[in-house]
Chains A and B, each alone.
Chain A
Amino acid sequence: MGRKLLTEHINVEGIETLDVYRKHGGYRSVEKALKTMTPDEVVEEVKKSGLRGRGGAGFPTGLKWSFLAKPEGVPRYLVCNADESEPGTFKDRQLMSKLPHLLIEGMITSSYALGANTSYIYIRGELLYVLRILEKAIAEAYAAGFLGKNILGSGYDLDLFVHPGGGAYICGEETALLESLEGKRGNPRNKPPFPAVQGLYARPTVVNNVESIAAVPVIVNEGGDEYAKIGVGKSTGTKLFSACGHLNKPGIYEIELGLPVEEFIYSDEYCGGIWKGRDLKAVVAGGSSVPILPKELILKTAAGEDRLMTYESLSDGGFVTGTMLGSGGFIAMDETTSIVRNTWSFARFYHHESCGQCSPCREGTGWLEKVLHRLVHGHGQRHDIDLLVSVAKQIEGNTICPLGEAAAWPVAAAVRHFRDEFEWYVTHPQEATKPGAVYPGQLVRA
């Protein structure tokens, strides 16, 4: 049983209230940081912890913080990215609705480290009910002196606000998020300048995922070195995985990085195996945008080693035989799943969510969806399969933001590992398009 650094108390009754949260050690990191540490010392602990951005990119959080420009007399901002929308990912919603004070505590400690006096939590608009929970908790934190002027007599001031989105996956991209927070369409900005120099209102800004911020209190309390002892290599600490799809026990699991994937899927402590006694066919391990892997490759690397839940092990083999840890959105598919239909669903998603700024993404995601649509509906031709690969390639690397890659990778990977099944849709359209049809062939390995 691994340690639970974030979710240990998630099921304690009343933990969403400040009193109960404090009884379980809440807000200690605020006292410790504001009373005994300089902001730079807090940044140093986060650097030492090896914490990597939990939103999907996996960039070291402490390093990101150290890039923040600090011109004299210019306000700077911390913005929490709570625009959780990557298909398969639902950890932040859970964390915020059940442990609102953990995020608030993390925001205070992190804002202090960065020297921000106003901070925002940008939450996806669909989660207005979670915004209400956060606002209630924030009001409690103000009343208890953890927010507002001269927090705990330290001379440090902080205002914290929650801002709702309006329904747009693209606002999870940090510069689109900032545009949205300024009351505009969520069009990602050209970089540079990066938000660390010109972010919200053209001021220096750090944007961090909910789970990254929520890890800061434990890092400050126990020290970065202690945190870094958990995990394997450069994958330190614990990570929340959102398990969904054809599992016996879908849900949120906090694991110590380094757990074998096989144990995560089959152990009763975690997902409890594949539903209905079926066999596993494939897994998308880090949210819809990462490459899908067939059962053999998600359980073992191409070299035959156990695949571990770490940034490095999941990406072992590159995109030929590996994938990415991403946001930790873990989607399992049983042996009856149509990979082609599922790929079409993801392509439709990215087409729908493309902001339309860059032609390769705007047009390319449309092509992907259309070609997959005709395959799924029995009108595909053999050259359509290569067309998918070609369109995916032409999107990749040619867009302002990573939504293009997010759309291209799943399609390219599905064709790479399941080409036979795509061909079956071309050669046996009537059979393949029957409701509930199951591909009878064997999986192909790259």
Chain B
Amino acid sequence: MESTATAAKPQFSEAAKAEIERICKQYPEERRKSAMLPVLHIAQAEFGGWVSPEVQDLVAEVLGVKPIEVYEVSSFYTMFNLKPVGKHVLEICRTGPCMLRGSEELTAHLERITGAKVGGPASEDGLFTLKEVECLAACGFAPIVQVREKYYEQLDTPEAVDAMLTELRNQVHRPALPWEENGLPNALANN
């Protein structure tokens, strides 16, 4: 976990800080660590779609736990990106029910159009990261891609995929979260 001396220490926005305090009140006072996952989600939304070691240290500080307690959690759960990502992370469901309805063809199609590879770095234009994930619990609407909080369903035609990509290309800011007035610019940290 190297950190460069020149990198400014990340800080949560005031709105995010207030939201974190609201969440921490949901648990007994001595159990602030319970807020780990919700705070990691806020951190990922706040700092460009991934949680760097510095961001994880900040989460540890906010929760009053040791950094290792954050690292061991962030590396266990698949939703947290531990490396920089493109502006939009396309999480493609690859599990059986989606596979039966064409998820393998969808993945190949997305790799062709975006130029990114599943599990690899973002596309050259910095727009898309492709990530395969396991069952997203929307099997009746397969195949599915999740981007942040949104599910794109029944992506079994090129038109449906195009509509999703066009919508994402036109998104300058990610959609605002309930505690924000406006959405943040996409990919803050890695541009």
Contacts and interface: CB of A to CB of B under 8 A. Distances in A.
Interface of A: 84-90, 92-93, 120, 124-129, 132, 135, 159, 161, 163-169, 180-186, 201, 242-246, 250-252, 284, 288, 329, 331, 333, 337, 341-342, 345-346, 348-349, 352-353, 355
Contact of B139 (A92, A185, A201, A329): A329
Contacts of A288: 95-96, 135
A445 B174 CA distance: 53
Interface string B96-130: 11011100000000000000000000000000000
A167 B31 contact: no
Closest 6 CB pairs of A and B: A166-B77, A183-B36, A167-B79, A244-B139, A167-B78, A183-B33
- Residue of B26, B63, B69, B99 with most chain A CB atoms under a 10 A cut-off: B99
Contact of A244 (B28, B76, B134, B140): B140
Nearest to B75: A185
Given A161-B26, A244-B142, 10 more contacts: A87-B95, A87-B139, A166-B76, A184-B33, A244-B101, A244-B139, A246-B101, A342-B99, A348-B94, A349-B135
A331 B26 contact: no
Nearest to B38: A164
A124 B38 CA distance: 11
Contacts of B26: 120, 159, 161, 163
Nearest to B105: A435
26 contacts: A86-B135, A88-B135, A90-B140, A125-B37, A125-B79, A126-B137, A126-B146, A128-B41, A161-B26, A164-B41, A167-B133, A183-B63, A184-B69, A184-B72, A201-B28, A201-B31, A244-B97, A244-B139, A244-B140, A250-B140, A250-B142, A331-B100, A342-B96, A346-B95, A348-B94, A355-B76
B77 A165 contact: yes
B139 A184 contact: no
A89 B37 contact: no
A88 B138 contact: no
Interface string B43-87: 000000000000000000001010001001100111110000000
Contacts of A167: 77-80, 133
B140 A242 contact: yes
Contacts of B35: 183
Contacts of A182: 31, 33-34
Given A245-B100, A245-B101, A342-B99, A184 B140 contact: no
A185 B33 CA distance: 12
Given A163-B26, A167-B79, A242-B140, A333 B100 contact: yes
Given A185-B76, A333-B100, A349-B95, A164 B37 contact: yes
A210 B97 CA distance: 22
B95 A345 contact: yes
- Residue of A163, A242, A244 with most chain B CB atoms under a 10 A cut-off: A244
Contacts of B167: none
A86 B146 CA distance: 17
Contacts of B69: 183-184
A246 B139 contact: no
Nearest to A130: B149
A159 B27 CA distance: 10
Interface in B163-191: 178
A264 to B, nearest CB: 14
A166 B73 contact: yes
Given A125-B41, A166-B73, A166-B79, A183 B135 contact: no
A114 to B, nearest CB: 18
B6 to A, nearest CB: 31
A132 B47 CA distance: 20
Contacts of A181: 34
Contacts of B89: none
B16 interface: no
- Residue of B79, B141, B150 with most chain A CB atoms under a 10 A cut-off: B79
A182 B80 CA distance: 18
Nearest to B142: A244
A14 to B, nearest CB: 20
A331 B139 contact: yes
A12 B157 CA distance: 30
B137 A183 contact: no
A175 B71 CA distance: 21
Nearest to A184: B73
Given A127-B137, A182-B31, A245-B101, A165 B96 contact: no
B96 A168 contact: no
Contacts of A349: 95-96, 134-135
A89 B137 contact: yes
B136 interface: yes
Nearest to B70: A183
A164 B34 CA distance: 11
Contact of A252 (B63, B135, B140, B150): B140
B40 interface: yes
Interface in B4-52: 26, 28, 31, 33-38, 40-41
A183 B38 CA distance: 9
Given A89-B139, A161-B26, A184-B73, A331 B97 contact: yes
Contact of B137 (A85, A132, A168): A85
B140 A166 contact: no
A331 B96 contact: yes
Contacts of A159: 26
- Residue of B137, B142, B146 with most chain A CB atoms under a 10 A cut-off: B137
A252 B94 CA distance: 21
Contact of B77 (A86, A93, A168, A201): A168
A438 to B, nearest CB: 14
